[in-house]
Structure 1
Amino acid sequence: MRPHDMGTLFDEAAAHGAPTVVHLDRPFDIAPDAGTLWTVPELAALVRATAARLADAGVGPGDRVAIVKDNHWDYDLLACAAIRLGAVPAQLSAALDAEDLTTLLDRLRPAALVTTAGILARLGRDPEIPIRVTVDAPAPAPAPVPGTAVHLAALDPAGPCPPVRRHDDEPLVVHHTSGTTGVPKLVVHSTRTLVHELARFEAVRYPVIGVRADDVLANASAYAHGRTFCWTAVVMSAAPARITVLTGDAPDTADPLLRAHPPTVVEAPPAGFVRLRPLTTRLDNPFRRVRLYISTYDAVHPPVLRSYLTASRHSRPLWMQGWGQTETGPLTFRFHTRRSALLPEARTDARLLGRPVPGRTGLRVVHPDTLRPVPRGRTGLLLVRTKALALGYVGERPRWDAKRIGGWWATGDLGIHHRDGSVSVLDREADSLPGLPDMSCLRTEDVLEARLPEALECVVVGAPDGGAPRPVVVTADGRLDPDAWARAVRGLPPLGEPVVVTWDEVPRTGTGKVRRAVLAERLIGKAVTGTGRWT
């Protein structure tokens, strides 16, 4: 089956006899009483019923429907239900702070908002959206809810909701960028860019990296983001034996479900892999059958790679690491094996993110000020060309146009195109620091994490007075041995005294990325960054 219409995706998978069984770590928010075990025909029926309920609320063709709720895969089911009605869903993470969420809603001007009573209260003012539907349990809100809203369960699930077809180049769905460098951008994709160019390419059963009929897939993602919407199209088309959906990354919570259904393929953002890493050392580790790990959104630090690849008892486990953006989808791929992850050079080359996808992605490097090409092996601004490029930004057309350079797209990343065709991504231009010209923030962090086994994560931010960059070390208990730190920084550019914090003390995006500017402001009162021209 090749994915096409996301509004009827689950219906088509059911008609093709997809045998997939889905296991959830908690019930769907849109079906709280229906349990945690689902078949594809049952998922198709849930999408149809949800579409009927949204239609009963007044959602129709052409409407924008903002979705912001607790993290769960039903983000995508809600989006497919809206698409079935001819509407355009906009999936917004509940991890956004109230100010950013309000800004995005003002840009969207949606006809409908599907959310929770708690989020409505957190907004602090009436968002002036005509249709408001809540999906959380009808219980007293923590604060008075602005305006009026109807609960999803109170709407009719049996009304007519025939699929509304749209042109392949019309807006299909809106996703926001991570927001590490400021207010996220709202990215519009079409059926052609997201489904035809991305999902169809991934749904092919390639040797080793393709989804097999006997696979058990585990996903621990941020389901509001664009990657999982594409993933949904892929897995419903590829029809694996089982899917395990994790809505959080707390190891003790995830462990029972993973052990009950040991996965053969695991996908998560880098922060998710970091959080679940303690499971790799348990006697009955749930990753023993994994043949393929997939990481997206960002590079993964070498110690994390080694932990998972050595935890698998598969003869040749593989790690597929992708670099891309919400606007473009995957641009490069790199593969790690157990052997390559254990090599000494693997400790510091995590920023080498593979090669552009042959025949699908073009890449060039230019000077960020002059936009003139720089030679292979020199650092510059990475430009890409892909047919999967999104349609634009909602409410920010000039910003979108400014990032178009001829037929190329400015990623906002600084990197190197090596002579062998591979690509290293060193920093976001907005996060680059003058104090680390040779190493880059990210490479420095890789070295520190390789030398500090107790570190869950290391982050380097700039000092406002032009002094040495300030390192932040994240540990389980917020403590760090001074002697271990002294050994870790030998041979590195000058760094300030480390700030040691726990995981929950670090401001993050919905995908677990560190919000560096916010972190710097909390620690030293001011964020030091690059120009931000290309964000």
Structure 2
Amino acid sequence: MTTRPDTTLCLHDVQEEQARSSPAVWAVVEDDLRFDYRTAQRRVLQLASVLRSRGVGPGDRVAWLGLNSFRVVELMIAAGRLGAMICPLNWRQTVDELEFVLADLAPTVVVAYPDPTQGDEGVHPRLRAAAEEATWYIVDGSAEGYESVLTAADPDVTPARSDPTAPVLIMYTAAHEGRPNGAMMTHQGLIAAGVVHAVMHGAFDGGQPVFLAALPLYHIATFMGCLSTLLLGGTVVYLPRASPEGISGLLASERCTWAYLTGPIIGQVAEAVEAAGSSLPDFRTPEAYVSADPRWASLGTPSPAPWSRYPGAFGQTELTGIVTYTALAVGAEGAAGRPSPWCLVRVVDGEDEDVPQGEPGEIVVRGLTAGAGYWNRDEVNAQRSRGGWWHTGDLGRRESDGSLSFVGPKTRMVKSGKENIYPVEVERCLREHPAIADVAVLGVPDPVWEQSVKAVVVPVAGETLTEDEVVAHCRERIASYKKPRHVVFAADLPRKAGRVDRDELDRLYDGGGYPGVGA
């Protein structure tokens, strides 16, 4: 048998190589901390030693509960060395939502990073109880805290596990069926997606990439920016909690070359840069920023990146982010473009047969960036992965030139400020109110947020209910961005064959603006 080199490559291998190739390059900047790739590698080995001592091994989960931090990435790499997974939790969610996720995840270790500016001095007792079997570490500077335990540990010298197909990252996605699912992503998927992400965003143009991680790391977009920069041996600047002033200050002082900003904060940052009298000569400004606020035209250097000029795409967290890019099909019929080299895409009917060109069907995907399914959801995984293809639950259309159009989710979804909100989750919350007999939720166009949530509520006979009471009920139980911005009361809901008629609901209550291009 012919002997050949080892072809496996995991995230911890990438980190190790950067420590050899770029030992003195700044890997991380966060608040007053700044360290190079040599130090980053030592911290990962020390952290792996800590995790191993707490019983973390293959298939185990480590949870991060808190603000943005470089520690999320080093936890992922250290956990990956042991065959385990990291899950950054959505800190914007309510205690009820986080309690469910922690109980579902059953982590072996939880690291919490409370927000000192919000008076968070610890962790809610219900969250402790939801993961009572876990070892908890707090990033607080104490003798028992995360930093103290890490720096006191000896580096782990045990050979790392090397399975590129093993999941290493879990992100809980919006709730299709009323409860969220944890999408698992693999070493090979993250590396492959990170390479394409770097190319599409022009992360490396001959200079040293410096990425500002300002928006939440529990979203795949910001996480991919950090990962792409790691793959290129660049610097990631972490901002624990985003603010226009904080973003503008770091863009200038750290000479950041790129960042992921979206929605109203694009204009707010431009205003903050202008107010501070700063300039951003190193920043590569995407065309979308200039379109959102013309002041960006004079704040940086125009980005030549493909994503800047052609930002359309189709993707989902379960597929490690973006699958198809408009930039790979410039001038094509389909607005979603064509797949990256790592993916195969089909559009199928209910029998999983390919539909003719021009006909809508479900988008199914396989390839390197396809994830490992959902954590702890065997039945759902069997259904979504049938035939060896990941069934996205999204509708698409193959155009005559072979390019792809995204039609929309099979299940109605609201997109507000880039957050995915499934009506069924908000409806489930509202049905818990004793004065609500029936309810339906829809999305309505919003000039600032793309869409906002509207609830059509049927009160229990004889009960009185106000709009404020409905909104307050949601605010206490689900993330604030999911609560209705509009509430209307009705005697009944439009139905067809016993189910709520979503199209008629939109017609009656001014729904629209949903993701996709329409069937």
- 2:123 corresponding residue in structure 1: 119
1:3 deviates by: 9.7
Point out the more displaced range, 2-11 or 411-420: 2-11
The amino acid of 1:128's aligned partner reads E
> Quick one: structure 1 residues 278 and 180, their matched pair in 2 at CA, closer, same or farther if it must change by over 3 Å?
farther
**Alpha-carbon offset, residue 472 of structure 1:** 5.6
Q: Quick one: which amino acid aligns to residue 17 of structure 1?
A: S
Question: Separation in 2 of the partners of 1:301 and 1:414?
Answer: 29
TM-score between both structures, scaled by the size of structure 2 = 0.68
Q: Identify the residue that residue 218 of structure 2 maps to in structure 1.
A: 224
Question: Are residues 1:4 and 2:42 paired?
Answer: no
- Structure 1 unaligned segments of length 5 or more: list them: 28-34, 140-149, 295-299, 433-440, 446-454, 477-498, 500-504
Does the residue aligned with 2:394 lie in a helix, a strand or coil? strand
Task: Specify the SS of the correspondent of 2:73.
Answer: helix
Partner of 2:240: 247
1:176 corresponds to which of 160, 171, 180: 171
Deviations 1:95-149 (A, max 9, x none): 333333333333332222222573343527353324222223559xxxxxxxxxx
State the distance in 2 between where 1:61 and 1:169 align.
13
Q: How far apart, in 1, do the equivalents of 2:134 and 2:201 lie?
A: 49
The answer as to whether partners of 1:174 and 1:189 remain within 8 angstroms in 2 is yes
Residues of 1 paired with 2:72 and 2:363: CA distance? 32
Match of 1:331 among 323, 328, 337: 323
Return the offset for 1:75. 0.8
- Aligned partner of 1:297 in structure 2 is none
Q: 1:146: which partner in 2?
A: none
How many angstroms apart in 2 are the aligned matches of 1:456 and 1:201? 21
Give SS of 1:519's match: coil
User: Which residue does 2:510 correspond to in 1?
Assistant: none
Shift in CA distance, 71/103, structure 1 to aligned 2, threshold 3 Å: same
Instruction: Give the drift of 1:354.
Output: 2.5
Match of 1:31 in 2: none
Deviation sequence 1:480-528 (CA, Å, 0-9, x none): xxxxxxxxxxxxxxxxxxx9xxxxx998xx9x9964xx53797769997
Unaligned runs of 5+ in 2: 1-6, 114-120, 428-437, 450-466, 468-472, 494-498, 504-519
Q: From the superposition, tell whether residues 239 and 153 of structure 1 become closer, same or farther in structure 2 (CA, over 3 Å).
A: closer
In the TM superposition, residue 396 of structure 1 has moved relative to its aligned partner by 0.5
CA distance in 2, matches of 1:327, 1:458: 14
Q: Give the aligned partner of residue 128 of structure 1.
A: 132
Q: Residue 185 in 1 paired to residue 176 in 2?
A: no
Does structure 1 retain, via aligned residues, the 8 Å contact 2:183–2:375? yes
In the alignment, is the contact (CA less than 8 A) between 2:318 and 2:371 conserved in 1? yes
The answer as to whether partners of 2:210 and 2:236 remain within 8 angstroms in 1 is: yes
Structure 1 SS opposite 2:11:
coil
Match of 2:179, as an amino acid?
A: V
**Does the C-alpha gap of structure 1 residues 313 and 163 become closer, same or farther in structure 2, counting only changes over 3 Å?**
same
1:394 to 375, 379, 390: 375
**1:390, CA displacement in angstroms?**
1.6
| Distance apart, 1:76 and its partner CA | 0.9
1:16 is displaced (CA, Å) by 0.9
Cα 1:239–1:170, aligned 2, differ >3 Å: closer, same or farther? closer
Contact 2:99-2:130 within 8 A present in 1 as well: no
Query: Structure 2 residue aligned with 1:276, among 266, 270, 275?
Result: 266
Q: Distance in 1 between matches of 2:53 and 2:487?
A: 46
Tell me by how many angstroms 1:19 deviates.
Answer: 4.7
- DSSP 3-state at the match of 1:13: helix
Cα separation, 2, equivalents of 1:121 and 1:467: 33
Change (3 A) 1:226 1:166: farther
Query: What's the offset of the Cα at 1:316?
Result: 4.6
The residue number in structure 2 matching 1:437 is none
Other-structure match for 1:44: 41
Counterpart for residue 18 of structure 2: 13
Q: Deviations over 1:313-361 (max 9, x none)?
A: 438565163432222122111349xxx9xxxx9xxx9x9332222x432
Say whether 1:238 aligns with 2:232. Answer: yes
CA RMSD across the alignment: 4.9
Shift of the 248–110 alpha-carbon distance from structure 1 to 2, 3 Å rule, reads closer
Measured at CA, do residues 276 and 43 of structure 1 come closer, stay the same or move farther in structure 2, by a change above 3 Å? farther
| AA partner of residue 266 (structure 1) | A
AA at the equivalent of 2:64: I
Contact 2:102-2:130 at 8 Å conserved across structures: no
* Contact 1:53/1:155 (8 A) holds in 2: yes
The residue number in structure 2 matching 1:363 is: 345
Compute the TM-score of the two structures, normalised by the length of structure 1.
0.66
State percent identity of aligned pairs.
Answer: 21
Shift of 1:365: 2.5
Answer yes or no: is 1:79 the counterpart of 2:41.
no
Shift of 1:285: 6.3
DSSP 3-state at the match of 2:12: coil
Distance 1:106 1:421, change over 3 A: same
1:491 matched to which residue of 2?
A: none
Q: Distance in 2 between matches of 1:152 and 1:314?
A: 41
Q: Which residue of 1 aligns with 2:337?
A: 354
Does the CA contact (< 8 Å) of 2:325 and 2:338 recur in 1? yes
Q: Give the letter for the 1:400 counterpart.
A: N
1:145 aligned residue: none
Corresponding residue for 2:393? 412
